[in-house]
Amino acid sequence: MEHESGHVVEYATLIKVWAALVALTAFLVAASRLSSGAAAWAMLLITPVKAGLVLYFFMHLKYEKLLLKTMAFVALATLLTFIGMLFFDISFR
Amino acid sequence: MSAGGHKDYQGAKIGMWLFLFTEFMLFGGLFILYSGSRALNPEAFHHASRELNVPLGVANTVILLTSSLFVAAAVTAIQKGRRKTAMRLVGLTAASGALFLVNKGVEWGAKFHHGIYPNGPALAHSPPGEALFFGLYFIMTGLHGLHVLAGTVLLCVMLAWLARGRIQPDDCVALENSGLYWHLVDVIWIFLLPLFYLAA
């Protein structure tokens, strides 16, 4: 039987994603020096984008079948639900 | 591996992802603990975070991001049939992992020197919130460090497999899955950087 193989992601794509990750890290560090409010917003906005870039391109999630995408979505949504429930609990104590 | 053996590419990938989900939940639990503790001790977390070495944390971030690029490029290289390039890239990834651990060792060493460790003299006299911050810092970066160590060992095994021809352009799921593990380690560090180093 012929071996199945994953999608080939070109080097240029990978390098662009890496450059974006380094640039976002620079933004994150710069924002954290401005004020604690800017640091919190930068963390909430930039960090998930960075994680998303790694998951989507480096981890090939973009090129996976719908089954795997759905599984990843359900797992992450579960985790986010728990984090959300925690903050409801803390803020309404 | 043995010729004619049954291989299930999708199965191997899904199995690895299921394992990665358990890792997300493992660290996710700790992130929940961190968030809850920080919400209850905002001042202490803000103050304790100043003790951390931001340039070292950022340097380690760049090291891990770059190593993630190396291992992703290694998968591309082997898929294109360039075994030597793939071996060089996997070697660079493992070397980056080792460099990360050296930095971490230097950082922890400096903290220990200043009496900052669980139940250490510096933390015994500081507010409970700060001891909590450093407890979480050591647990989370320590658990992450163990993952970096495991990933580095795994990449060394992949290097040996590449050298022996056990990983082929049309049969490289072992390298792909090792890469996935390494990227997971990178994703977790992406969250650890702002939570600990940039919280001041």
Average pLDDT over residues B167-186: 96
Question: Which residues of chain B have a CB within 8 Å of the CB of A37?
Answer: none
Angstrom distance (rounded) from CA B137 to CA B109: 14
Average pLDDT over residues A52-58: 97
Nearest to A6 among B14, B73, B176 (CB): B176
pLDDT above 90 for A1:
no
* pLDDT tens-digit readout, B12-63: 999 999 999 999 999 999 999 999 999 999 999 999 999 999 999 999 999 9
Q: Domain-by-domain residue ranges, chain B?
A: 12-197
Best residue in A7, A36, A54 to probe B by mutation, most B CBs within 10 Å? A54
Per the CB < 8 A criterion, the answer to whether A71 and B21 are in contact is yes
User: Exposure string (b/e) for B157-167, b if CB count within 10 Å is 16 or more?
Assistant: ebbebbeeeeb
**Does B32 lie at the interface with A, CB-CB under 8 angstroms?**
yes
pLDDT band of B139, cuts 50, 70, 90: very high
Nearest to A18 among B39, B40, B66 (CB): B66
Among chain B residues, CA nearest to A11 = B73
Q: Do A6 and B195 touch (CB under 8 A)?
A: no
Q: Which amino acid is at B108?
A: W
Q: Which amino acid is at A74?
A: V
pLDDT band of B4, cuts 50, 70, 90: low
Best residue in B25, B35, B66, B187 to probe A by mutation, most A CBs within 10 Å? B187
Q: Do B46 and A76 touch (CB under 8 A)?
A: no
ipTM for this model: 0.92
Q: How far is CA A17 from CA A9, A10, A82, B68, in A?
A: 11, 11, 30, 11
Q: Which amino acid is at B48?
A: A
Nearest to A75 among B24, B186, B199 (CB): B24
pLDDT above 70 for B107:
yes
- Minimum distance, in Å, between the CA of residue A61 and any CA atom of chain B: 10
Q: Which CATH number fits domain B12-197: 2.170.130.10, 3.40.50.2300, 1.20.120.80, 3.30.1300.10?
A: 1.20.120.80
State residue B10 phi and psi, 5-degree precision.
-60, -40
**Does B88 lie at the interface with A, CB-CB under 8 angstroms?**
no
pLDDT above 90 for A4:
no
What number of C-beta contacts closer than 8 Å exist between A and B? 125
Question: Which residues of chain A have a CB within 8 Å of the CB of B193?
Answer: 25, 28
* Sign, CA torsion B69/A52/B19/B170: negative
Enter the tokens of residue B145: 């460090």
Q: Which amino acid is at B5?
A: G
Among chain A residues, CA nearest to B171 = A3
pLDDT band of A2, cuts 50, 70, 90: very low
Angstrom distance (rounded) from CA B85 to CA B87: 5
Q: Do B10 and A4 touch (CB under 8 A)?
A: yes
* Better-scored residue on pLDDT, B164 or B127: B164
Residue B124: per-residue pLDDT? 85
**H or E element in which residue B117 lies:** none
Contacts 24+ apart (CB under 8 A), A74-80: A75/B21, A75/B24, A75/B25, A76/B24, A79/B24, A79/B25, A79/B28
Of B5-9, B17-21, B112-116, the least confident: B5-9
Angstrom distance (rounded) from CA B177 to CA B38: 34
